[in-house]
A and B are shown apart, each in its own frame.
Chain A
Amino acid sequence: MKVLVPIKRVIDYNVKARVKCDNSDVDLANVKMAMNPFCEIAIEEAIRLKEAGTASEVVAVTIGAKASQEQLRTALALGADKAIHIETDEKLESLHIAKLLAKIVEQEAPELVILGKQSIDSDNNQTGQMLAALTNRGQGTFASKVVIENNKVNVTREVDGGLQTVALSLPAIVTTDLRLNEPRYASLPNIMKAKRKPLEVVAADSLGVDLAPRIQLVSVEEPAKRSGGIIVEDVAQLVEKLKTEAKVI
């Protein structure tokens, strides 16, 4: 079984994003970038399926500028067999990404596609669902457990109020939640080996997808600042303040 794992290069999750002074966007110049944490979990799950003998080949794909090849090399170092880079300097929306991925799904014909549930920059939480729609496949979103048997995949999903399990016919699309697994680190020998693994580059506009923007970014602002609070001495003072000053209890 072939597994396709789309990944995204994003701001490192420990970095606090700063808004540009002209309010046009977030400032990403000279900021540490990394693989989106949910995508790391997706790669890890695919590698585990391969180690269990369920998956035969793991293909990592990313869409973005040349620098995102760094994240593909990371995926290869973690155990992916080959990588595809769909190169574009445009800032694309989830719908564009899903359409480009649908082309790759058509070409590679994976039985399973595993994506992160959301990227920590745009916080959209859309691409997996859109890809499932465009390829007419069942979707198991926010997965905390994935079990493959008898040409079906059982996905335990993290939903409000608890857990829900659905069975999807393969081929299918799964998006990962944080508790699906704990991603491994790439070892130095594997990082060296990854340099020799195949990485195919495709120009985004060669895939015949309309990439015209559907959403106009009007402005980006800092969120309203909270006014600084006070440190209270003890519990009695805290309760007193909450009762008389804040009036919330």
Chain B
Amino acid sequence: MKTLVIAEHDNGALKPETSKTINAAVKLGLDVDVLVAGLNISAMSEKLATIAGVNVVLSVDHAVYEHQLAESMTDLVLSLADDYSHIVASATTTGKNFMPRVAALLDVAQISEIIDVIDADTFKRPIYAGNAIATVKSLDAKKVITVRASSFDLQGEQGAVSINTLDTVSDSQLSTFVSVEQTESERPELTAAEVVISGGRGMQNGENFALLNGIADKLGAAIGASRAAVDAGFVPNDMQVGQTGKIVAPNLYIAVGISGAIQHLAGMKDSKVIVAINKDPDAPIFQVADYGLVADLFEVLPQLENAL
């Protein structure tokens, strides 16, 4: 049997999660086909065909799939499911939305957010906000899996493989797209950035987040936030790092004015190097930080920007 990976994209470009999810799928030891569904996606299909390990690209270019609504995506994946023993997607908000729907209609239990592949049936995944790692074995004939992309590497490149254009169109009448409100940013995507600098409640207000801009520019970093900063309305919620926000694992994570609650640590404690800047020496963040600086962030942030 084969593995089907569903590509993650924004109709303009593939998300780095796709390549990392293919990396995880290759570890299953089966042929990997990739499905990409969206609108005006021919350039992306060609790009997918050059990702190492991809066997065939299945491309569905239709307005129905522009926003990848769960109901329509599910019908599409189900129409292909007979040929595959493993169906895999990234644990992004898109993947998390449609994959359990696919699993339920195939009558299989989904394995969410795997961080390691032991064999084609056995996987590791974090539970309890990352405070425990469970090894689980799927007893179902078909496996439906979502992948925590930050735990896998980017795949390399290969000579282009073939692209099969499918004309399956299933417009579920259960839901319709109304609108989208995107957060504008020039910076790298939070989940893919090599360096992330995050602010917490200690930033005191939204304007003070500007203090992170200069540092982020010099480091080519993405800017994140703790749930406290988001709930206080300092920054939009898609900047939130944590169990209930985004999971990141950059080379360098700088936590500024963040205490380090369990829910925040769940989103960043796999970063290679963690730096904490906090004026409270007892803040739990110092227990996971490689380098801690006990200081007033309003004093040291400008110094840090100058020193870089």
Interface of A toward B, CB cutoff 8 Å: 11, 13-14, 16-19, 26, 93-95, 98, 118, 120-134, 136-142, 144, 154, 157-169, 172, 177-179, 213-223, 226, 228-232, 234-236, 238-239, 241-242, 246, 248-249
Contact = CB atoms under 8 A, between A and B. Distances in A.
Interface string B211-253: 0000000010000000100110000111000011010000110
A230 B1 CA distance: 50
A90 to B, nearest CB: 14
A169 B173 contact: yes
Contacts, number: 258
Nearest to B301: A235
Contacts of B65: none
A216 B137 CA distance: 5
Contacts of B272: 248
B100 A160 contact: no
Contact of B94 (A132, A159, A177, A235): A159
Is chain A's interface secondary structure helix, strand, loop, or mixed overall? mixed
Given A166-B176, A246-B290, A218 B108 contact: no
B126 interface: yes
Given A179-B237, A226-B274, 15 more contacts: A124-B110, A129-B70, A129-B97, A130-B101, A137-B174, A162-B238, A166-B175, A166-B176, A214-B109, A219-B134, A221-B132, A235-B304, A248-B272, A248-B273, A249-B195
Q: Which of B99, B110, B132, B176 has the most CB of A within 10 A?
A: B132
Interface in B278-297: 281, 286-295
Contact of B109 (A19, A136, A177, A215): A215
Contacts of B101: 129-130, 132-133, 139
Q: Which of B96, B100, B237 has the most CB of A within 10 A?
A: B100
B104 A130 contact: yes
Contacts of A122: 127
A138 B75 CA distance: 13
B97 A238 contact: no
B280 to A, nearest CB: 13
B70 A139 contact: yes
B136 interface: yes
B93 A232 contact: no
Given A159-B93, A177-B244, A216-B139, A11 B308 contact: no
Interface string B261-278: 011000001001111000
A17 B138 contact: no
A248 B251 contact: yes
Interface residues of B, number: 91
B104 A133 contact: yes
A65 to B, nearest CB: 18
24 contacts: A17-B132, A126-B103, A129-B100, A130-B101, A133-B105, A134-B104, A139-B70, A139-B174, A144-B237, A166-B69, A167-B176, A178-B231, A215-B111, A217-B134, A218-B137, A221-B132, A229-B291, A231-B291, A235-B293, A235-B303, A235-B307, A238-B293, A241-B291, A249-B195
A132 B67 CA distance: 19
B128 A17 contact: yes
B97 A139 contact: yes
A158 B238 contact: yes
Contact of B103 (A14, A130, A217, A239): A130
Contacts of A213: 139
B169 interface: no
A32 to B, nearest CB: 14
Contacts of B135: 217-221
A165 B109 CA distance: 28
B227 A178 contact: yes
Contacts of A131: 104
Given A13-B262, A249-B219, A165 B180 contact: yes
B112 interface: yes
B122 interface: yes
B288 A239 contact: no
Contacts of B275: 238, 242
A165 B132 contact: no
